[in-house]
Amino acid sequence: MSNADNLPATVLGRKAVVYVRQSTQAQVETNTESRRRQYELVETARAHGFRSIEVIDDDLGRSASGMSERPGFDRLVAWLCAGDVGAVLCFDASRLARNGRDWHHLLELRGLVEARVIDLDGVYDPSRPNDRLLLGMKGSISEFELGVLRARMLDAARAKARRGELRISVPLGYLWSREYVNKG
């Protein structure tokens, strides 16, 4: 399939949106190469023929698990609903959402307005059954991966608690002690 088939003039005439996200503030501060590579997707959009390119990076340091607000994601959804977006570019398509509700909602919207998804693996058209299947699998794998990570972290915290090594935050004015919590 040629680029012209996957990215027709009607798609290229709308804006490309580069969605940049890292899950935690620590990742933002330490994983600068990941962020730099995500911003480089602007050049990928240009290479595909997009003239109008917007970058959404409001969600740096915010998880896509569905537990926190993501103003950038909300803006992306609004632009998709308005029919302004020809393609969403991201490092990995599964980085857009790590929960099924957000992922499938976004996939449905992109299919309705014929917006493409572009990541390092290729160009996807959510209105085509094979592309939709592949994107659905990427989303399901991402959601599964998040569940596994959560379970591992919870198991590790429980193991620490059983050994008496779990340290949790104490309210302001209190001091942590191995034996008990003291009022400072």
Catalogue the active-site residues: 23
At which residue do the structure tokens 């996807």 appear?
124
Unique residue bearing structure tokens 């990995």: 92
Amino acid at 118: I
Torsion sign, CA atoms 170, 171, 176, 177: negative
Give the DSSP H or E segment for 117.
Answer: strand 116-119
DSSP H helical ranges for the chain: 3-6, 9-12, 25-30, 32-39, 41-48, 71-81, 100-112, 129-163
Structure-token pair, residue 142: 């991402």
